[in-house]
Amino acid sequence: MNPKPLIRLLTALLPLLLVSCRHTNLFNSEEYEDQMADAYMVTTVSDGHNWQLTQMTYLDVTVNRSNDEVYDVTLFDGDVALARGSVNNGSTLSTTFSRPRGTEGDYRLVLTNLRGESTSRPVTIDNNTVRAVYGRSRADGEETLDVTIDTVQGMTQTYLFEDRYPIVSDCDFNDLVVRIGKSITGRTIIIRAELLAVGSYQQIALCTRLVGVKAARVRLVSEHPMKRSHAGSSSMVGNAGTTLHTGLGSKEAVLMMTNDAHWALSDDAPAGTPTRQLINATHEEEFILSTTVPSAVAEYHVTFNSLSEAQTFFSNDKTDPFIVVVNNGRTWEVHQYIYKRQQTLSEYYMGQMGVYVSNPYTWCLAVPSATMSYPVEGVPLGYGYEKRPYVEPAFPQFSTWAARRTSFETWYTHPNHELVY
């Protein structure tokens, strides 16, 4: 990778770095924006691009059956549940759900009565809406199911992070890689996190904000956590021994998953600092400080105060995993682009620092896939040929999606297999 753009960016930021971002009158915002445009991995970002690979869709289900009872409604795409809600007989369930962009699904609706009896019928999405009416007689294609629909597994997403925010590094988006999925049973949401990789030499904490969910409205009923904190680790998120935190301002629920991702993936002895090395991030032996280990898996069972709140959270893409890092003496949170202004556990924007969130770039990507590969160390996620003609990206279609957000929306299914893990 050509080091000159990064050197120029660091030069622009030098006054800011020397004062730990406190004397913002020394910060040259125009220079920062110019150098960011030169150093970031893509040449062009589509106007209004929010870097989201899921979209909100509407679900309207009307039930007019002969008996007077409450029904559970579950929308599936194959074996994955996209939405769940409840509706009284004689009423309509109107809600929203999230689904991957650019894909053709195998959609079916399952209607379950109070006795646990379920029927299934195929449905389609028209004008970004699923509509279905259940009358006294069965609809076309409606069949009885032999199984009880109780706990259902929702969509799993892979989250890719860069840890050098607010500057640009190698853009390999493997500094931390985690898959997070959720399932629902009654009022309880089960959040499963699988920490896959740490492609960084610095300590990184991992948390997940439940967007729009007040901490006072939920309780953590059980957990099977990954290793969270270590005597040799710095405290990144306050009380690292507590799982359920209350966010600043909004008072939203925040799950502290690990205070030290290296430690979570490490078999190190209890004494000393966890080894700062690349974990599950390279195939090459030239990286001396690198290793391959099994992933770390955790589960969190969160019960909501009401059934409708649990169903709404399950159906919509309202999970905000973020990492906490220390860069240049200051703590930063790295969120998805749509949550870039969020200060969940610490306040870190001041004065002219707002320029960090006004640029069109992202340091975190949420990908609606439970199986996608991720770039190996030092390989950029994507580059435009005119910008870095000598660099081969891990995902060749990514830069086109960045420039034209409605094209190549499934770029993550077409990797350069030699450059991914």
β partners of residue 77: 80, 107
pLDDT in tens, 313-335: 999 999 999 999 988 778 889 99
Of all residues in the chain, what percent carry a pLDDT higher than 90?
62
Burial class from Cβ neighbours inside 10 Å (0-12, 13-18, 19+) for residue 179 reads buried
Specify the DSSP element, H or E, that contains 314: helix 307-315
Higher pLDDT, 153 or 14: 153
How far apart, in whole angstroms, are the C-alpha atoms of residue 387 and residue 67?
65
Angle formed by the axes of helices 4-18 and 29-39, to 10°? 150
Of 148-152, 255-259, 269-273, the least confident: 269-273
Q: Among 46-50, 72-76, 319-323, which stretch is predicted with the lowest mean pLDDT?
A: 46-50
Homologous superfamily in CATH for domain 54-150: Immunoglobulins (2.60.40.10)
pLDDT at 163 over 70: yes
Q: Which of 39-43, 206-210, 417-421 has the lowest mean pLDDT?
A: 39-43
Residue 224 has a pLDDT of: 92
H or E element, residue 312: helix 307-315
Domain boundaries, the chain: 54-150, 154-378
Q: How does residue 384 score in pLDDT terms, banded at 50, 70 and 90?
A: low
8 Å CB contact between 243 and 237: no
Mean pLDDT in the chain? 87
Residue 29 — left, alpha, or beta (φ > 0 → left; ψ -120 to 50 → alpha)?
A: alpha
Is 301 in a helix, a strand, or coil? strand
For tokens 């001041």, the residue is 350
Enclosing H/E stretch for 5: helix 4-18
pLDDT of 90 strictly over 50: yes
**What pLDDT does 268 receive?**
62
| pLDDT reported for residue 420 | 96
Please answer whether residues 162 and 334 qualify as being in contact, where contact means their C-beta atoms are separated by less than 8 angstroms: yes
Check residue 147 and report its DSSP letter.
S
| Unique residue bearing structure tokens 């450059």 | 419
Burial class (CB in 10 A: 0-12, 13-18, 19+), 268: middle
The alpha carbons of the chain give a radius of gyration, in whole angstroms, of 23
**Rounded alpha-carbon distances, angstroms, from residue 130 to 89, 95, 96, 122:** 19, 10, 10, 11
What b-and-e string marks burial along 203-224, b requiring 16 or more CB atoms within 10 Å of the CB?
bbbbbbbbbebebebbeeeebe
- Per-residue model confidence as pLDDT tens digits over 286-318: 677 899 999 999 999 999 999 999 999 999 999
Give CA–CA dist 61/88, Å, rounded.
11
With 50 as the cut, is the pLDDT of residue 32 above it?
Answer: yes
